[in-house]
């Protein structure tokens, strides 16, 4: 009897990569030989697996997960993006300590089916091509397996296709240790990187993609090993059995694996930091949009293909429609999340908002706040005066009739505390069209704000065209004084920035991340000069003035450093490396996983309340001020110690009690 591999729609109708050009007859099922006996068949088989890779992209939702088979249902994804969970953005919701399930042994079985049976077709391939395809399969298995390990810790290592007719107890496999799981991933990636093609391909795994994944995951394992000892897991059965946590003595083993992979990719790979524009802010922004970028190692695109219908169909994501303000830019419901002042202040060159005498610094133009910012920051966020498709951003919270007070009067109290906000001295509005009127003589003396005229009435709008309203809701209401620019595509057709209409790829691996992985691993291994070399390269491209790793506590992010030192002692230089990772990879969905692996999530995100950048126009001075204020909705981020390991899904435990013990604190 022929071996049949049934391919269901849920397997095939997912995000495909380079395989959309395959010309295959639509069928409901294929023989094993049709898939594994030709390179085109193998690529078709792999294509379905690529769509299930655990990539936290535009469609990923912190509450609902990857949803690879429900792309049409992801229009709300920017509302639930992971960067809001790590407080990189201010929006809703906040921390999901329980995480979302990714129990993908169905896909592991699919990969194992190939790995276990491919040898039967070895004579149909050259040895090189056979090993390339086998290496790609092991890359896919390592990637899918890692999505489970980084959530649950130790899980069963399944490398052979299980017989569903076998004895029940045989099928009820036990969990392996977290150490063994990361070693299994390492062995798969080692084989993959030694055998996969060296030809760069952003759409499919290559030798370099395997090295990039090894660089990242082995750093995860190393820091989990080094820092888990500082979490109070003692007495928890899963911890005591090695299912949650890795012994600290193994840390350097994994740091070395990460270091070696990064070094090999950097020194031998065909990649380089993106430096295509002399304007470094433009350069940093275009880096993620340029599909020809030599920095990009691997990305996820949004071209879908259905094996049951030869006509490929397209479905985009919603990033532009749900991160730009409506109606002047977005033609959908408008922006959903915004960078906080706390985030802005972590970048080099963010200006002091307070003058030497303690009063708010005065500005002739609200756009002047950008003058000293590092270019990387200006390429990541939109500020007052920035332009998108001929529309100038205007974020103003309101007007002050006068402001002779010290800046710190707004630091810790409510946003309506006296005396500066009483007796109608501060004017706010929930309506973008609310006016403040002037006489013709008064209007003639105003130079720094655009005074409009309507039938002989002179006026300015109380709030900016793009915020901020008094509502505490985050939809289409710039809560923080800036918008997200990262990944925004200025080349979209004007008037058609709607849901499912964005097609810029999500960059899953880029050389900049590998530099940061390498710097962190090198520092942890004691190679401080080498770590500094790669931090310098990152900061030079970012347009920073101070390029070296700093040992001055004044140069690290105060909140993160203070909170981390309540967990364990940390060198200022290492904190600086972590901070640089935050700045470079801000908004690219690394932050949550980083805080977890460093074992500081429950401290850095302990009653964390982001501050906001509030711009006001002062009427009696014809000047602008920026105030550091409390976020209007008083949103609070709180991670707790259960976040480090998700609970093994109860449904899986019901089927297999040998998955117990449950993870710590669950």
With H, G, I as helix, E, B as strand and everything else as coil, classify residue 610: coil
- Residue 656 token pair: 């297999």
pLDDT confidence band for 436 (50 / 70 / 90): very high
CA 463 to chain centre: 31
Cα–Cα distance, 173 to 502 (Å, whole number): 43
Q: Tell me, what's the pLDDT at 312? A: 38
Per-residue pLDDT, averaged over 411-422, amounts to: 65
Q: Which domains, and CATH codes, for the chain?
A: 4-319 (1.25.40)
Percent of the chain with pLDDT over 90: 82
- Residue 6 token pair: 């049934």
CA 356 to chain centre: 37
Is residue 56 exposed (0-12), middle (13-18) or buried (19+ Cβ within 10 Å)? Answer: buried
What CA dihedral angle connects 518, 524, 527 and 529, to 10 degrees? 70
Mean pLDDT, all residues of the chain: 91
Per-residue pLDDT, averaged over 293-308, amounts to: 76
Q: Tell me, what's the pLDDT at 148? A: 98
Q: What is the pLDDT of residues 46-99, one digit of tens each?
A: 998 998 999 999 989 888 888 766 666 777 788 788 888 899 999 886 899 999
Q: Tell me, what's the pLDDT at 94? A: 81
Helix (H) or strand (E) holding 296: strand 296-300
- Residue 259 token pair: 């270091």
pLDDT confidence band for 410 (50 / 70 / 90): confident
Positive or negative, the Cα torsion across 279, 282, 286, 287? Answer: positive
What CA dihedral angle connects 345, 348, 354 and 356, to 10 degrees? 150
pLDDT at 327 over 90: yes
Q: What is the pLDDT of residues 419-430, one digit of tens each?
A: 778 778 999 999
Q: Tell me, what's the pLDDT at 69? A: 63
Characterize the bridge pairing of strands 89-90 and 483-484.
Answer: unpaired
Name all contacts of 74-79 with Cβ < 8 Å and 24+ positions apart.
Answer: 74/317, 74/318, 75/318, 75/322, 75/499, 75/500, 76/318, 76/322, 77/317, 77/318, 77/322, 78/318, 78/319, 78/322, 78/323, 78/336, 78/337, 79/322, 79/336, 79/337
Q: In sequence order, what are the beta bridge partners of 303?
A: 16, 314
Contact 151, 172 (CB under 8 A): no
pLDDT confidence band for 214 (50 / 70 / 90): very high
Q: What contacts 416, CB < 8 A, 6 or more positions away?
A: 422, 426
pTM here is 0.93
Contact 401, 419 (CB under 8 A): no
Least confident among 239-243, 305-309, 629-633: 305-309
Cα–Cα distance, 368 to 351 (Å, whole number): 10
The end-to-end CA distance of the chain, in Å, is 47
pLDDT at 136 over 50: yes
pLDDT at 517 over 70: yes
Per-residue pLDDT, averaged over 508-524, amounts to: 98
Q: Tell me, what's the pLDDT at 573? A: 98
Q: Tell me, what's the pLDDT at 417? A: 61
Per-residue pLDDT, averaged over 306-331, amounts to: 75
Q: What is the pLDDT of residues 137-150, one digit of tens each?
A: 999 999 999 999 99
DSSP annotation of 450 reads -
Percent of the chain with pLDDT over 70: 92
Contact 648, 641 (CB under 8 A): no
Helix (H) or strand (E) holding 563: helix 558-564
Per-residue pLDDT, averaged over 101-130, amounts to: 97
Contact 204, 17 (CB under 8 A): yes
Per-residue pLDDT, averaged over 195-200, amounts to: 97
DSSP annotation of 420 reads T
Q: Tell me, what's the pLDDT at 315? A: 75
List the one residue out of 417, 389, 411 whose CA is nearest residue 628. 411
Least confident among 36-50, 274-288, 400-414, 629-643: 400-414
pLDDT confidence band for 396 (50 / 70 / 90): very high
Q: What contacts 455, CB < 8 A, 6 or more positions away?
A: none
Contact 244, 664 (CB under 8 A): yes
Name all contacts of 307-314 with Cβ < 8 Å and 24+ positions apart.
Answer: 307/7, 307/12, 307/24, 307/26, 307/27, 307/44, 307/48, 308/9, 308/12, 308/26, 308/27, 308/28, 309/26, 310/23, 310/24, 310/25, 310/26, 312/20, 314/503
Helices (H) and strands (E) in the chain, counts: 22, 20
CA atoms within 13 Å, Cβ hemisphere of 204: 23
Helix (H) or strand (E) holding 630: strand 623-630
Residue bearing tokens 């004007």: 494
Taking the CA atoms of the chain, what radius of gyration do you get in angstroms? Answer: 27
Per-residue pLDDT, averaged over 184-208, amounts to: 97
Contact 589, 60 (CB under 8 A): yes
Q: Tell me, what's the pLDDT at 395? A: 97
Least confident among 216-230, 302-316, 434-448, 574-588: 302-316
Q: What is the pLDDT of residues 458-515, one digit of tens each?
A: 999 999 999 899 988 889 999 999 999 999 999 999 999 998 889 999 999 999 999 9
Q: What contacts 286, CB < 8 A, 6 or more positions away?
A: 274, 276, 277
pLDDT confidence band for 24 (50 / 70 / 90): very low
Q: What is the pLDDT of residues 617-632, one digit of tens each?
A: 999 999 999 999 998 8
* DSSP assignment of 21-58: G------SEEEHHHHHSSHHHHHHHHHHHHTTS----T
Beta-carbon count within 10 A of 402 CB:
12
């Amino acid at each position: 009897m022929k071996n049949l591999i049934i391919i269901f729609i849920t397997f095939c109708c997912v995000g495909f990569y380079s395989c959309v050009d395959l010309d295959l007859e639509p069928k409901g099922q294929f023989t094993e030989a049709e898939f594994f006996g030709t390179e085109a068949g193998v690529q078709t088989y792999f294509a379905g697996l690529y769509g299930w890779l655990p990539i936290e992209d535009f469609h990923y939702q912190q509450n609902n997960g990857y949803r690879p088979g429900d792309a049409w249902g992801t229009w709300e994804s920017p509302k639930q993006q992971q960067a809001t969970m790590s407080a990189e953005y201010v929006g809703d919701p906040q921390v999901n300590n329980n995480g979302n399930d990714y129990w993908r042994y169905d896909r592991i079985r699919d990969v194992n089916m190939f790995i276990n049976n491919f040898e039967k077709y070895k004579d149909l391939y050259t040895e090189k091509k056979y090993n390339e395809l086998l290496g790609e399969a092991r890359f896919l298995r390592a990637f899918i397996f890692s999505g489970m390990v980084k959530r649950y810790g130790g899980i069963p290592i399944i490398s052979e296709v299980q017989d569903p007719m076998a004895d029940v107890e045989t099928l009820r496999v036990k969990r392996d240790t977290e150490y063994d799981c990361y070693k299994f991933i390492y062995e798969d990636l080692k084989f993959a990187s030694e055998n996969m093609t060296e030809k760069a391909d952003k759409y499919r795994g290559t030798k370099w993609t395997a090295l990039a994944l090894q660089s990242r995951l082995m750093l995860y394992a190393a820091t989990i090993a080094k820092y888990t000892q500082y979490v109070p897991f003692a007495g928890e059965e899963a911890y005591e059995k090695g299912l949650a946590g890795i012994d600290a003595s193994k840390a350097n083993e994994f740091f070395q694996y990460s270091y070696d992979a990064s070094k090999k990719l950097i020194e031998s790979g065909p990649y380089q930091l993106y430096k295509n524009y002399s304007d470094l802010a433009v350069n940093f922004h275009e880096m993620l949009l340029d599909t020809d970028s030599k920095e990009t190692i691997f990305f996820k695109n949004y071209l879908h293909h259905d094996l049951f219908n030869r006509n490929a169909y397209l479905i985009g994501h919603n990033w532009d429609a749900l991160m730009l303000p409506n109606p002047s830019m977005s033609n959908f419901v408008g922006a959903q999340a915004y960078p906080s002042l706390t985030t802005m202040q972590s970048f080099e060159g963010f200006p002091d908002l307070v003058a030497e005498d303690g009063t708010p610094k005065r500005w002739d133009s609200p756009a002047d706040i950008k003058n000293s910012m590092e270019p990387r920051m200006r390429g990541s966020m939109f500020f007052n005066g920035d332009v998108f498709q001929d529309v100038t951003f205007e974020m103003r919270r309101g007007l002050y009739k006068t402001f002779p007070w010290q800046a710190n009067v707004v630091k810790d109290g409510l946003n309506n505390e006296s005396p500066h906000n009483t007796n109608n001295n501060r004017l706010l509005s929930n309506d973008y069209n609310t006016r403040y009127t002037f006489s013709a003589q008064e209007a003639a003396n105003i130079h720094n704000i655009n005074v409009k005229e309507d039938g002989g009435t002179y006026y300015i709008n109380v709030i900016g065209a793009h915020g901020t309203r008094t509502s505490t809701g985050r939809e289409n209401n710039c809560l923080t004084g800036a918008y997200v620019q990262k990944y925004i595509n200025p080349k979209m057709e004007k008037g058609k920035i709607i849901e499912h209409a964005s097609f810029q790829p999500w960059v899953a691996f880029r050389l900049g991340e590998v530099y940061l992985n390498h710097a962190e691993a090198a520092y942890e291994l004691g190679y401080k000069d080498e770590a500094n070399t790669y931090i310098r390269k990152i900061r030079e491209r970012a347009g920073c003035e101070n390029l070296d790793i700093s040992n001055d506590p004044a140069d690290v992010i105060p909140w993160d450093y203070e909170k981390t030192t309540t967990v364990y002692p940390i060198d200022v230089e290492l904190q600086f490396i972590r901070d640089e990772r935050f700045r470079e990879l801000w908004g690219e969905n690394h932050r949550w996983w980083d805080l977890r692996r460093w074992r500081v999530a429950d401290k850095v995100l302990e009653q964390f309340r982001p501050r906001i950048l509030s711009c006001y126009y002062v009427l009696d001075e014809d000047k602008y001020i920026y105030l550091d204020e409390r976020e209007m909705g008083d949103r609070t981020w709180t991670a707790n110690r259960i976040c480090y390991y998700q609970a093994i899904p109860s449904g899986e435990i019901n089927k297999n009690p040998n998955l117990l013990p449950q993870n710590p604190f669950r």
